[in-house]
Amino acid sequence: MNFNLKFDDRGLIPAIVQESAEGVFINLAFSRLHAAANVTAYEPAAGRLDAQARRAASYFLRPPAWATPATVTLCRNGGDSHAEWGGPANAYVVCRDVRPGEPLRLQWHVPRFTQVFPLQSVPGRSEKLTVHWLGNQVLDVEPRGPYLPMFGDYARRGDPSRPVSSSPSW
């Protein structure tokens, strides 16, 4: 299958859920209301994506590329199910014979790690930039910039397992 994420003037939104002859592809962990599936994403720390099927089809759920396949779990109709990998680049968990209204849940382990980079944008400087990650989310950077303090104490932001608001119906 020649499968490419398709973008339009609405940007990324159409790429979240796409339909093809093979089935329904949920490509990104973003909340989205779609004719084929209602997708609920959670804070990155939760490592979770829920989908409510709206059509009878095979569903292809894509965890983040950095998720270790052995840690990915699938839940169908409230019970654990075998995670079968397939789809383009074997990057999706395949759910065959899904019925309308059937709930699907995909979960994965979210790694916490630190990277250290030499600052190369200013010649002659020897400082290093330390980036603290949780999955694909930057939690903090050191040293912090004085003008745009974008990162703070992530733990104070609330419950990471709460759903992220549904997207507008574009």
**pLDDT 10s digits, 14-40:** 889 999 999 999 999 989 999 999 999
Judge whether residue 67 has pLDDT over 50. Answer: yes
- CATH number for 13-107: choose from 1.10.3470, 2.40.128, 2.60.40, 3.40.50: 2.60.40
Which amino acid type is present at position 17?
V
pLDDT, residue 15, reads 85
pLDDT, residue 155, reads 42
Banded model confidence at residue 72, pLDDT cuts 50, 70, 90: very high
Judge whether residue 125 has pLDDT over 60. Answer: yes
Nearest by Cα to 106 from 135, 132, 81: 81
Q: What is the pTM of this model?
A: 0.75
Judge whether residue 170 has pLDDT over 50. Answer: no
pLDDT, residue 115, reads 94
Judge whether residue 122 has pLDDT over 80. Answer: no
> Greater confidence, 81 or 94?
94
In 10 A of CB 18, how many CB atoms? 18
Domain ranges of the chain: 13-107, 112-154
11 secondary structure, DSSP code: B
Cβ-proximal residues to 159 (8 Å cutoff; 6+ apart), any chain: 43
pLDDT, residue 58, reads 98
